[in-house]
Structure 1
Amino acid sequence: MQHRHSSIRIVDNLAEITRHHDRQVLEKSLLKTLNELFPAQSLRLFRVRRHDLVHDISLLAFCVNDVISSSDQHPKLNFETADELTAALTKAIDKEDIVSYRQSGNDGWNVIYPAFDSHGEIFASLVHHCHELPSVNDQRLVHGILRVYANYLALIDKSQRDKLTGLYNRETLDEQITKILVNQSSELNKLMASPNDSRRRRYAIKHWLGVVDIDKFKVINDTYGHLYGDEVIILVARLMTSGVIRDDDLIYRFGGEEFVVLLKAANEVDAMQAFERIRKVVANHSFPQLGQVTVSVGFVEVSAQLSPTDVIGQADEALYAAKNEGRNQVQNYHHLVAAGKVMEPKKMVSSNVELF
C-alpha cells in the first residue's frame, strides 16, 4: 500500500486530533485521522495494562466501514479475538515493536503498533487490518502519529491531576458525572422503547459515587502541622489506588481531606463491598506517629439525578450520617432514605424541559 501524503494534510490531521480534550473523543479522532490517511478494512485501538507478567488487553475504540465508535457506546460489541491476533498483540507488546502478519484465509494483513506513554511503558496498541501490507515509510508515519497521540494524552492527563496526590482534580469530576447521566438517559430511552428487554436491564452498568472523608483531620493538622497533614492525605490517596478497586474506577481529590470515588458495580451490595474495602485498607494501615487513621464514606447510585451537584449532595448526606453514627463506616444514601433518616427532596414536575 503506497501512499504519498502531503505535509499540509498530515499537519491538518494532527491539528484535528489535538483539538479535543475528552479522551474518548480523542481516541475516535485518532482513528478517523488514520482511516483518512490509510484507508483500512478496520482499525482497533486496545488499552494495554500489565499485571505482573500478564497483559490485560481491552477494546477502547474501533473503525469499521468508515464508522467510528468507542467501546463504551457499544459495550456488548465484541470483536472475535482469534488466537493468532492475541499472539501477535502479545508479541508486539513483548518486543515493543511493530508486528505484522497475514490473516488466516488470505484475508489481508494485520499490522500491530504499540503506543508508549511518557514513562516508556506500552499503554495501548493499534491493530490496522488492510488489504496490502503498508510500506516501511507508511508504518513509520502511523507510529509517529501514535506518538503525537500519546504525548498529547499525557499533557491532558497532567492538566487533570491534583498536584499533591496525583489523583484526578475536582474540575474533571462534574464533566464525568454529567457524561454518566447523559449516557444513562440515552440507555433509559432505549429500554423504554423495548420494555420487554429484561436481560438488558438486568446487566446494565451501574455507577456509584462515594465521598470519602478522613476522620478528625483537623486534630491531625492542629497536632502535627499541615505538612504532616499533607503526608496523611498522600498516604490515604496511595492506599485507595493500591488495588482495592478496579483499574477503570476513578478517584478524585475533592478538596482538603475529601476524596470522591466513581466506580462501577452491578448492585448496591457490590458497591457497598467496594467502598468497605477502601475503608478497611485505610483503617488497617499503620500511619507513622499516628497509628490508625480512619475514613468515613457516604455513597449513592448515579441515576436519574438532575445534575452533578445533586449526586454529590446525596453522597454528602450519607457521609454526614456516617460521621454522626460514629465515623469509620460506610453509609448508603438510598438505605438512609428508606429508613427515614434522610428526607429525599421532592422532584420538580416539569413537562416541557428536556435535560438530555
Structure 2
Amino acid sequence: MSEKERLFQERFKRYTVALECGKPDKVPVVFPLGEWVVKYTDTTLQEVYYNVDKSTEIIAGAIRDLDFDVMFGALNLWWPPMFDAIGSKLYKFPGIYFEENSGFQYVEEEYMKPEDYDEFIANPTQWLATKYLPHICEEFAEPGSYRATVALIKSAAAFAMHNDKAVKAGEKWAKEYGIVPAGTGLTKAPFDTLGDALRGTKGILVDLRRRPEKVLAACEAIVPHNIAYAMITAAGDTSLPCFAPLHKGAYPFLSLEHWQKYYWPSWKAVIEGLWALGKRTFFFAEGDWTPYLEKIADLPEKSIVFAIDLTEAKKAKEILGGRFCLYGGVPTTLLTYGTPEEVKDCVKRAIDELAGDGGFVLAAGGVVMGDAKRENILAMIEAAREYGVY
C-alpha cells in the first residue's frame, strides 16, 4: 500500500467514524470546492463549465498541497453539452446567455400545470417521459420522432461521458491526494421536487391553498422515485451519505403547520426508505431549521448527517447530538466577508460547541459562494487541524 493509499484509508476512517457519531483521532475537515476557485486562475467560468478536463486540472491545482480529509462541492453543477444536446429550457450558462464569468441560472416556470396533477399522481414516470420532457426540451417536442430519438442518444452519450470523467477524476484525487468524497448519490425532498422543477415556487404555494390534497398525493407518489434515484446515482454505495439539497424546507418559507403536513411526511419517508437499504442521507439543511429539530430527532438514529447553516448550533447539538453526525460550523458569509482571524476564531468556537465526544465534521454550513476568499478557506482548514485534535 502506497503512502497516499494509507492516507486515504486514514481519512476515510476518520470521516466514517464521525458519521457513525463516533470519536475519531481528529475532527474531519471538509474542503469546500466551488466557483470561488476559478477566480484565482486565468480561466473563465465559461471554460470551466464546458471543459471537464480543464475543470479537473484546476481542482487538482487547488487541493494538491492542502491538509484536509473530505471534499464537497464542484466547480460547476452541470455540464452544459448534456443540456444543449436536447435543447433544454431549464438552464442558461455563462458565455452564451451571460458574461463569461457569470454563474448559471435556472429558469423557473410552471412546467407542470394544475390540470396535470391527476395524471402525474397516477404514473409519475410516464408523465415525466411523455409530457414533462417534451415541454422542457425543444428536441423532444415530438416524442418518438427521428429528431427526438437522436437527441435522446446524444444526451445519454454526453451524460455517460461526463459521468465517466467525473468517476475517473474522483479516483485520481483519492489515489494521488488521499481525498475522500463527501457522499455518493443525490436525492431530494418530494415537496422540493414538486416545487422546484414541476410546479415552481409560485405554483406550489398557490396549490397549498387551492388544491392541498393534490400536493399531498403528488409528494407521496414521488417518494419511491426519490429513493430509487438516490441508490441509482450512488451506484448502490452505502458507505457514504446521499446528498440532499433542501430548498423549500427552511423556516419560515413554510408555516410550521404547512411544514408538518406537506413537507415533512414524504421527506421523512424518503430518509427512512433509504436507511432501510443501509443508505444514510446528507440532510443539507441550508437556512434555519431550528423550529423543526424535535421532529428531525424522531428519525432513525444515525440515518442522517445534519448540516448546520443558520440553525442554532447549540440547540442542534442539544437535540440532535449523539443521535446524528453534525456537519458545518462555519457560515458561508464569513468565508466571503470575514478575515482569516475571524474564521479561525469561528472554527475554534464551533469545535468547542459541537465536537464534544465525536460525531462532528467541520465544514462550511452551506454551499460556498463564488466570491469567497481563498485566504479564508485556508484559515478554516488550518484552524481545524490546530484545534480539532481529540
Same fold by TM-score greater than 0.5: no
Question: Which structure features the higher share of helix residues?
Answer: 2
TM-score normalised by the shorter chain: which range applies? 0.3 to 0.5
Name the TM-score, length of structure 1 as normaliser: 0.33
Larger RCO, structures 1/2 (Cα 8 Å, 6+ apart): 2
**Which has more radius of gyration?**
1
